Amino acid sequence: MFTGIIEEIGEIKTFSKLSNGAVVEVVCNKVLEGTKIGDSISINGVCETVIELKNSSFLAKISDETLAVTTFSNLKQGDKVDLERALTLNSRIGGHIVSGHVDCVGKILKIEKLSQFYNLEIELPYDFSKYVVYKGSITINGISLTVATAAENRFTVAIIPHTFENTILKYLNTGDFVNIETDILARYIEKMLSVRDNDKKITVGFLQENGFV
Question: CB within 8 A of 115, min separation 6: which ones?
Answer: none
Mean pLDDT, residues 88-103: 83
- For residues 128 and 96, which has the higher predicted lDDT (pLDDT)? 128
**Is the same domain home to 111 and 183?**
yes
**Is the same domain home to 123 and 183?**
yes
CATH number of the domain where residue 108 is located: 2.40.30.20
168 CB neighbour count, 10 Å cutoff: 21
**Is the same domain home to 63 and 117?**
no
**Is the same domain home to 81 and 113?**
no
**Is the same domain home to 59 and 108?**
no
User: Alpha helices, DSSP H only, in the chain?
Assistant: 64-69, 126-129, 161-165, 184-194, 204-209
Query: Does residue 209 fall inside a structural domain?
Result: no
Query: Does residue 154 fall inside a structural domain?
Result: yes
Query: Does residue 144 fall inside a structural domain?
Result: yes
Query: Does residue 206 fall inside a structural domain?
Result: no
Task: Enter the pTM of the model.
Answer: 0.87
**Is the same domain home to 181 and 137?**
yes
pLDDT of residue 93: 74
pLDDT of residue 206: 67
**b/e sequence 34-47, b meaning 16+ C-beta within 10 Å:** ebeeeebbbbbbbb
pLDDT of residue 91: 74
Query: Does residue 195 fall inside a structural domain?
Result: no
Q: Rounded to whole angstroms, how far apart are CA atoms 140 and 109?
A: 14
**Is the same domain home to 20 and 72?**
yes
pLDDT of residue 201: 62
Query: Does residue 90 fall inside a structural domain?
Result: no
User: By C-alpha distance, which of 88, 90, 96, 89 is closest to 39?
Assistant: 88
Query: Does residue 75 fall inside a structural domain?
Result: yes
Asked which of 85, 117, 142 is the last residue of a domain, the reply is: 85
Q: Rounded to whole angstroms, how far apart are CA atoms 213 and 210?
A: 8
Asked which of 33, 57, 85 is the last residue of a domain, the reply is: 85
3-state helix, strand, coil in the chain (%, to 5): 20, 40, 40
- Summarised one tens digit per residue, pLDDT across range 150-196 is 999 999 999 999 999 999 999 999 999 999 999 888 787 777 777 65
What's the total number of domains in the chain? 2
Query: Which residues constitute the domain of residue 132?
Result: 104-188
Identity at 77, one-letter amino acid code: Q
Asked which of 85, 112, 138 is the last residue of a domain, the reply is: 85
User: By C-alpha distance, which of 65, 64, 55 is closest to 25?
Assistant: 55
- Cβ-contact 1, 98 below 8 angstroms: yes
